[in-house]
Copies of this chain bind each other. A is one copy, B any other.
Amino acid sequence: MIRTNIESKIGQPLTDKEFEFFIGLMKPQTIAAREILIHEGDRCTNLYFVEKGALYSYLTDDAGNAHVIQFALEDYWISDLYSFFSGKPALYTVEALEPCQLLVLSKEGFKTSCDHLPKLDRFFRVLIQAAYVNAQYRIARTFSAEAEQRYCELVETHPDIVQRVPQFLIASYLGVKPQSLSRIRKNIFERR
């Protein structure tokens, strides 16, 4: 639910009026599994809220290898914020893992809601701040913990993601090869 998602992030309820105004700015969209929502290099002018389904974003390096940046299940927001805010070409590709039901907020809708609803302005601030803090924490963990420990933490904190996402994408997210994650899992199971 997008309403509770917003309310929990800002720590206060929205009035019905505020919510109606905001939701009126969003458009529903459905996409099929494997369909690409944002192409790396294209301009990304929307924010996407996941009502149903699963997506992920990734970046392709010089050697042609893909690196998973983020997963987004129900109740997550996903986009290429760099492109969205700067107007420059997107750094990432966002692709659906399953058929998805999305709510789309355009740049204009974003501006309108920030200008007219202080709570929404606050919400989006909090959203990107949280994203920033997560990114920094991920960097720190990547350097300070072995892949096995990072995998265990992911299982603890996001069991839903581990369940629904193919293992080779989890491996990419953790920064190891699929073969390595397979061995890591083997080790974990053998130890119990």
Contacts and interface: CB of A to CB of B under 8 A. Distances in A.
Interface of A: 59, 61-63, 65, 67, 69, 81-82, 85-86, 91, 125-126, 128-129, 131-133, 135-140, 142-145, 172, 175
A61 B140 contact: yes
B175 A133 contact: no
Nearest to A70: B136
Contacts of A139: 69, 135, 138-139, 142
A131 B91 CA distance: 15
A113 B131 CA distance: 24
B140 A81 contact: no
A125 B131 CA distance: 13
28 contacts: A61-B145, A62-B144, A65-B144, A67-B140, A67-B143, A67-B144, A69-B139, A69-B140, A81-B129, A81-B132, A81-B133, A82-B129, A82-B136, A85-B125, A91-B136, A128-B128, A128-B129, A128-B132, A131-B132, A132-B132, A132-B135, A135-B135, A135-B136, A135-B139, A138-B139, A139-B142, A142-B143, A143-B172
The interface centre, meaning the residue of A86, A91, A135, A142 with most chain B CB atoms within 10 A of its CB, is A135
A129 B175 CA distance: 24
Nearest to A83: B133
A interface SS class: helix
A169 to B, nearest CB: 13
A38 to B, nearest CB: 14
Contacts of A172: 143
A136 B128 CA distance: 12
A111 to B, nearest CB: 12
A38 B44 CA distance: 37
Contact of A61 (B59, B67, B144): B144
